[in-house]
Amino acid sequence: MTMDASTVGDTTVTAAVYASRELEPAILEAIYDHGSGIEFKPFYNKANDYEHAVRRDFTEAVLQEFPEHIRVFSHRQSLDGNEDTQQVEAVHSAIHVHDILNTVAEPPAVIVDGNEQQAKPFVAALGGLRDDRPLVAHCQKSEFYYPAALLADLVSNHLAHRINSTDTMPRAGELVIPAPRAKHHRGQDWGQAISATYRNSPEYTPPTLPALRGNTVRERVNCWYEGAVMPHEGVDEPMSDSVTRVVNALQRNGYDDLAEKLREL
């Protein structure tokens, strides 16, 4: 499970993508297919590399393929106060994870985009909602490493632009996916989570996961395959930038077209 937030003007939108490793190739394939018209390149591009108007249709097309795997909260400073966008993102993310944990038998691993300073307030906010905690890791520039994180980046940025462009909150049905204001619609959870960020927070210790960084697209594809995170810039690169094993795995699972795209990198 991955989260990402975008702030445009006074609007912050946090998107969570709940997707298994088995679903990620489908997300990656959809991003390649719908992004071909604007030459969007996963593992290389992110939302802010393109003007919103240029990527609007592309983002909505991808979003519409996976609506059941995406959850969104919004926050408008003019309506909700609180200008601390990092705190808002942490609280939004905590409520997203809390909701997922209440509906699944097997807790997912949670990847927080950014460094430890992003992970710590999230862990604190989640502690205000529940005692148990899933595996939580942080990954800098996660949108370059995980297709699900790239989807969260695209969705949060698109909806932040869309909501901020109106004087009032868009009504239900005006957005491709609902983006309720968490402070208004989830007031009790918001209050508990935000209060917890002011208390002594639970310790956050990064888990023992493969830690790699990719300086090229092929290296980042390998990091994704390994299930690696980049906790900081000082970690090593993959031993090889060959994508053969990734291509073979995709072909075994029926993703022949996607495998060919990666082979050509």
CATH code of the domain in which 27 resides: 3.30.420
The pLDDT of residue 156: 98
Give the pLDDT score at 135.
96
Q: What's the whole-number mean pLDDT along residues 212-219?
A: 98
Q: Mean of the pLDDT values across residues 118-140?
A: 96
SS3 242: coil
Q: Do residues 123 and 74 share a domain?
A: yes
Domain identity same for 153 and 258: no
CA–CA dist 118, 201 (Å, integer): 13
Q: Does 73 have pLDDT greater than 90?
A: yes
Q: Is residue 125 predicted with pLDDT exceeding 90?
A: yes
In this structure, the answer to whether residues 197 and 233 fall within a common structural domain is: no
Type of residue numbered 8:
V
Q: Which residue bears the tokens 């073979």? A: 248
pTM, two decimals, is 0.96
Last residue of a domain, one of 192, 207, 222: 207
Strands (DSSP E) contained in the chain are 2-8, 11-17, 70-76, 110-113, 136-139
User: What is the predicted pLDDT for the residue at 213?
Assistant: 97
159 neighbors 67 (Cβ within 8 angstroms) = no
Same domain, 187 and 234: no
| pLDDT on residue 225 | 97
Q: Which domain holds residue 219?
A: 211-265
Rounded mean pLDDT, 122-149: 97
Q: 19 with 81, same domain? A: yes
For residues 65 and 159, membership in a common domain is answered with yes
Instruction: List, in order, residues 6 or more apart from 73 with CB less than 8 Å away.
Output: 13, 14, 92, 95, 96, 179, 180, 181, 182, 186
Q: Which of 183, 207, 231 lies at the terminal end of a domain, its last residue?
A: 207
Predicted confidence (pLDDT) per residue in 151-193, tens digit:
999 999 999 999 999 876 776 567 889 999 999 999 999 999 9
Read off the pLDDT band of 34 (50, 70, 90). very high
Q: Read off the pLDDT of residues 51-63 as tens digits, 9 standing for 90 and up.
A: 999 999 999 999 9
Mean pLDDT across the chain, nearest whole number? Answer: 95
Does the pLDDT at position 194 exceed 80?
yes
> In the prediction, which pLDDT does 32 show?
98
**pLDDT score for 167:** 72
Rounded Cα distance between 154 and 75, Å, is 17
Last residue of a domain, one of 174, 207, 240: 207
Q: Are residues 152 and 264 in the same domain?
A: no
Looking at residue 87, its pLDDT comes to 97
Domain count, the chain: 2
User: In the Cβ-directed half-sphere of 118, how many Cα atoms lie within 13 Å?
Assistant: 23
**Distance in angstroms (rounded) separating the CA atoms of residues 170 and 168:** 6
Window from 21-30, 46-55, 173-182 with minimum mean pLDDT: 173-182
Same domain as 147, residue 226: no
85-117 tens-digit pLDDT: 999 999 999 999 999 999 999 999 999 999 999
Structural contact between residues 169 and 163, judged by C-beta atoms closer than 8 angstroms: yes
Residue 245: the pLDDT is 97
Residues 89 and 217 in one domain: no
On whether both 138 and 221 belong to a single domain, the answer is no
Within this chain, do residues 177 and 234 fall inside the same structural domain, yes or no?
Answer: no
Give the pLDDT confidence score for residue 175 in this predicted structure: 82
Stretch among 69-73, 87-91, 202-206 having the lowest mean pLDDT = 202-206
Q: In terms of pLDDT, which residue wins out, 243 or 202?
A: 243
**Domain shared by 121 and 160, yes or no:** yes
Is residue 20's pLDDT more than 70?
yes
